[in-house]
Amino acid sequence: MMIGRLNHVAIVVPDLEAATKLYRDTLGAEVSSPKDQPDHGVTTVFVELPNSKIEFLHPLGENSPVAKFLERNPAGGIHHLCYEVDDIYAARDRLLADGLRILGDDEPKIGAHGKPVLFLHPKDFNGTLVEIEQV
Amino acid sequence: MMIGRLNHVAIVVPDLEAATKLYRDTLGAEVSSPKDQPDHGVTTVFVELPNSKIEFLHPLGENSPVAKFLERNPAGGIHHLCYEVDDIYAARDRLLADGLRILGDDEPKIGAHGKPVLFLHPKDFNGTLVEIEQV
């Protein structure tokens, strides 16, 4: 396998408006409007950098996958990195063959960008939650 | 001010060889040789992605700035993000004018890439340590 671009860095934020203001007004970056993603339990905002993206995540609804993260990190924090791959099944098979753990049932799911994704176990990746996304 | 590219994501790793092997052999990325940076108290390894870089950091010598991070996070973890700016003094002045805190004495230092850098207070940036680097 070969990982490609760093698609985005996801940051859980306690206040989407404040984070938007900081990145748009102080840092001067292009920032999207918030988008509720009820299927994923998050509201997302994207910061468009010239070469990559920052994805702000804020809990939406009950059982949000980022609610506990925000409880443990009330100021927010980096949640995951996302690398692009050409073929998510080939990537999965290579990761499993090398003894790395995939979260869930090893089957790609449709992620917040409408593309197949897998999340890899942070303990196998230097304490970093890694998402791989087929592009 | 206007932030530019996401220059790198820095990850503190407990084992540079294991991290290199993971990213080079399993993920298929281009990974540099380790470089000791005694002035900065770290050994660095760079993963070159098509659009950005991952920087592995490992403590070097006594009083390494990442030693405590590794004690608190024995598996490793994401340490900081680095955004590029054109003019680090203009960026600093804008950040200070907007009430944001810079770590240290507000004077840019020469960073691990030989360029002027500042580190911003994580509490002001959604729990994320942010480096800005003049390119």
The residue behind tokens 């010239």 is: A50
**B53-62: per-residue pLDDT in tens?**
999 999 999 8
In the prediction, which pLDDT does B112 show?
A: 83
Per-residue pLDDT of chain A (135 residues; tens, 9 = 90+): 689 999 999 999 999 999 999 999 999 999 999 999 999 999 999 999 999 999 999 999 989 999 999 999 999 999 999 999 999 999 999 999 999 999 999 999 998 889 999 999 999 999 999 999 999
In the prediction, which pLDDT does A74 show?
A: 96
User: In one letter, which amino acid is B60?
Assistant: L
Nearest CA in chain A to B56: A126
CA–CA min distance B60, chain A (Å): 18
Residues of A in contact with B123 (CB under 8 A): 75
Which of A56, A48, A51, A80 has the alpha carbon at shortest distance from B6?
A51
Integer CA distances (angstroms), B132 to A40, A77, B67, B89, in order? 32, 17, 22, 11
* Token output for B104: 């240290």
In the prediction, which pLDDT does A113 show?
A: 87
Residue A19 near chain B (CB below 8 Å): yes
- In this structure, the dihedral spanned by the alpha carbons of residues B70, A55, B102 and B56, taken in order and rounded to 10 degrees, is 30
* Token output for B40: 């900065």
Distance, in Å, from the CA atom of B5 to the CA atom of B84, rounded to the nearest integer, reads 5
CATH 3.10.180.10 fits A6-134, yes or no: yes
Q: Do A27 and B75 touch (CB under 8 A)?
A: no
Q: Do B27 and A54 touch (CB under 8 A)?
A: no
Q: Do A6 and B5 touch (CB under 8 A)?
A: no
- In angstroms, how far is CA A24 from the centroid of its own chain? 20
In the prediction, which pLDDT does B120 show?
A: 97
Sign, CA dihedral B60-B64-B66-B67, equals: positive
Residues of B in contact with A9 (CB under 8 A): 6, 9, 81
Beta bridge partners of B130: B81, B120
Mean pLDDT of B10-14: 98
Q: Do B77 and A12 touch (CB under 8 A)?
A: no
In the prediction, which pLDDT does B1 show?
A: 66
Residues of B in contact with A94 (CB under 8 A): 26
Distance, in Å, from the CA atom of B89 to the CA atom of B101, rounded to the nearest integer, reads 14
- In this structure, the dihedral spanned by the alpha carbons of residues B47, B59, B82 and A10, taken in order and rounded to 10 degrees, is 80
Q: Do B1 and A27 touch (CB under 8 A)?
A: yes
Element (H, E) at B83: strand B77-85
3-state secondary structure of B125: coil
Distance, in Å, from the CA atom of A128 to the CA atom of B77, rounded to the nearest integer, reads 5
Beta bridge partners of B59: B42
Q: Quick check: A56 and A13 in contact, CB under 8 A? A: yes
Give me the phi and psi of A57, to 5 degrees please: -120, 135
Distance, in Å, from the CA atom of A68 to the CA atom of B99, rounded to the nearest integer, reads 29
- State the average pLDDT for chain B: 96
Hey, which residues 84-123 in chain B have their CB within 8 Å of chain A?
94-95, 98, 100, 122-123
Percent of chain B with pLDDT over 90: 94
Mean pLDDT of B100-108: 95
**B38-79: per-residue pLDDT in tens?**
999 999 999 999 999 999 999 999 899 999 999 999 999 999
The residue behind tokens 């001010």 is: B1
In the prediction, which pLDDT does A112 show?
A: 84
In the prediction, which pLDDT does B16 show?
A: 98
